[in-house]
Amino acid sequence: MKQALHIFRKDVRHLTPELAMYCGLLVAFAVVTPLRWPGASGSEMLQMFATLVTFLLPIAWLVLITRTVHEESLVGDHQFWVTRPYRWSSLLGAKMLFLAVCILAPFAVVQAYLVLRAGLELGAALESVFLNLLFFVGIVLLPFTLLAAVTASISRTVLALTVLALSWAGVLALLDNLTIPRVMPPFVFQACSLLVAGSLVGTLIYQYATRRTERTWTMLLTTGVFYFGLYFGCSATNLGGLSSVLIRQHYPLAKSGTVSLSFTPSASGPAARVRPSITDTQGMEPVELPLAYRDADPAARVQDASVSFTIDGPGFHYVSPWRSLAMESEDLILLVPSSIFWSVQGTSVRMHVSVAAERLLPGQPETVKVSDRFRVPDGGVCVLLRRNISGNNLSCWYSGHGPSPTRVTGPVSGESCGGTTHAAVSVIHSLGGGIRVDPVAQSLVPLGGAVCPGAVLTFIPYRSAGNFRLEMDLPPLLLSQYKPHWLRME
């Protein structure tokens, strides 16, 4: 530890100019980021400057991380430190200390400042800020440190990062083009992230302990191939049935009387409807089954629904993977491989359908009186914008990735306040995952009019009532009878 501190102090002293610039950039980021929030009065130039600062931050991270790692470069055989009594663990410890104290801590402080600046409660935001920093470590600090550890100069680090990022994007694009997205089985993303992060940490330790750069590169590329293999395994194959087992375990069979599926065929077949984008897939034929989902509680909602089905006919058996499902209509649209569809379209087949989803129930409604800026449930803050955006003027801010789905109801006026009002309803959804440089997530609430000061809004947060799965055997049917109407007209 003593040696690690000694090396750390040396790094800080040498990189003081870079650190000063980084801190300046963070201060600029803290000052200008609120100008990008809805309703801020920043000029267009300031907004552009804020964008530029946000763009510069990852560059600053890359430069700082590379500079500190290259203070004692691990690649090459001319470094003075290689023949000095450095303990590799102390050296690695010194670098980790530098990353934690000089890069992560200032960034965490700025994140906390922005949360407070937005008027959010820091205590309530701590978990999301912590998760955000964890993402930051996993997605930025660790990969950048590892790349710096296997390259000899900053230009080579940038080159390696560019090549890896392009390869990454290229392979993902290729996989997306080749395969239809499937539902990621539960825990696979977490397990995969842990495995990849563990593998990267192990590779970094190995490089510091041995300085065998070629082997470290091999380990690094193997990790990449493993990740893509797993991704491909999840998105293009059934992982040998494991995927289905995990999903079934995670979504237990629904208790009778709460939710159900019913099959209600009509003689005329599916009604004409707008073609959803999900059906726009080569090599697959959409089949629209008159399967209606019912919940005993009309206020309940579902999210993250997915479906799998089997088709059995004379001499064949087909099992579909689990795919996302939109449950907003009375009918379910399933994608059947064209080869299967055309070979059995005129044959009577038996189908079994499995639907899995998370059930949501409304929580305790909370009424809030509207002012220019007011607190709302789930630790959020809403502001009234001076100018309407797409006819709406209510923007709600949350830390991290936003609240659970929340239904908002209340009176709204037309273009501006003072006129007649009418009741409106909207839903605030979670705002997506991943790393957020700006910890304040904003959501425009599309109530379809202007919310005026003094009005009372009701917020109903929807809480999870657990996962469920529905299984249903369909009577013998002809798939050709359930081709969606828009296809027949083409």
Partner 1 sequence: MIDNLPAIEVRQLHKSFAQTDALAPLDLVIPRGAIFALVGHNGAGKTTLIKLLLNIVQPTSGSATVLGEGSTALNGASFTRIGYVSENQQMPDWMTVREFMDYLQPFYPTWDEGDLLDELELPSDRKLEHLSRGMRMKAALASVLAFRPSLIVMDEPFSGLDPLVRDELIETLLDRLSDNAPGEAEAGTTIVISSHDLAEIESFATHVAFLHQGRLLFAESMDRLTARFREVTVTLEGAGTVPPMRFPASWLMTESSESVFRFVHSNAETEPLEEQVRELFPQAGDIQAEPMTLRTIFLALVKSRQSQNRRRA
For residue 6, state whether it binds partner 1 (rule: CB under 8 A).
yes
* Contact flag: residue 205 with partner 1 (CB under 8 A): no
Q: Which stretch binds partner 1 (CB under 8 A): 2-10, 222-230, 325-333, 415-423?
A: 2-10
Length reported for the chain: 490
Q: Which is nearer to partner 1, 157 or 442 (CB)?
A: 157
Nearer to partner 1 by Cβ, of 211 and 436: the residue is 211
The whole-angstrom distance between residue 153's C-alpha and the CA centroid of its chain comes to: 33
Q: What is the CA radius of gyration of the chain?
A: 27
Number of residues that bind partner 1 (CB under 8 A): 19
Least Cβ distance, residue 73 to partner 1 (angstroms): 8
Instruction: Give me the long-range contacts of 98-101 (CB less than 8 A, separation at least 24).
Output: 98/8, 98/11, 98/12, 98/68, 99/65, 99/68, 99/141, 99/145, 101/8
Q: Distance between CA 308 and CA 469 in Å, rounded?
A: 11
To partner 1, the closest distance from the beta carbon of 85 in angstroms equals 5
Do 241 and 235 meet the contact criterion of CB atoms below 8 Å apart?
no
Q: Applying CB under 8 A, does 282 fall inside the site for partner 1?
A: no
280 makes contact with partner 1 (CB under 8 A): no
Please tell me whether residue 85 binds partner 1 under the rule CB under 8 A: yes
- Minimum gap (Å) between residue 27 Cβ and partner 1: 26
User: Applying CB under 8 A, does 88 fall inside the site for partner 1?
Assistant: yes
Q: Cβ closer to partner 1: 83 or 177?
A: 83
Kindly identify the residues of this chain, within the stretch 57-76, that bind partner 1 according to CB under 8 A. Answer: 71, 76
CB 464 within 8 A of CB 358: yes
> Among positive and negative, which fits the CA dihedral 311, 316, 319, 325?
negative
Q: Does 16 bind partner 1 (CB under 8 A)?
A: no
| Tokens standing for residue 215 | 């082997």
- The phi, psi pair for 207, rounded to 5°, reads -65, -40
Residue 206 Cβ vs partner 1, minimum distance, rounded to whole Å: 15
Based on the shown chain and the rule CB under 8 A, indicate whether residue 214 belongs to the binding site for partner 1: no
CA distances (Å), 171 to each of 162, 177, 236, 282, in order? 14, 10, 13, 20
Q: Which is nearer to partner 1, 21 or 472 (CB)?
A: 21
Q: Please, what sign has the CA dihedral across residues 400, 406, 412, 414?
A: positive
- Among 2, 44, 177, 274, the residue binding partner 1 under the rule CB under 8 A is 2
Binding span for partner 1 by CB under 8 A among 81-89, 135-143, 180-188, 285-293:
81-89
Out of 12, 35, 49, 86, point to the residue binding partner 1 (CB under 8 A).
Answer: 86
Q: Measuring CA to CA, how many Å separate 286 from each of 179, 237, 310? A: 16, 20, 15
Asked if residue 3 binds partner 1 (CB under 8 A), the reply is yes
Eight-class DSSP state of 150: T
Contact residues: partner 1, CB under 8 A: 2-3, 6, 10, 14, 71, 76-80, 82-88, 212
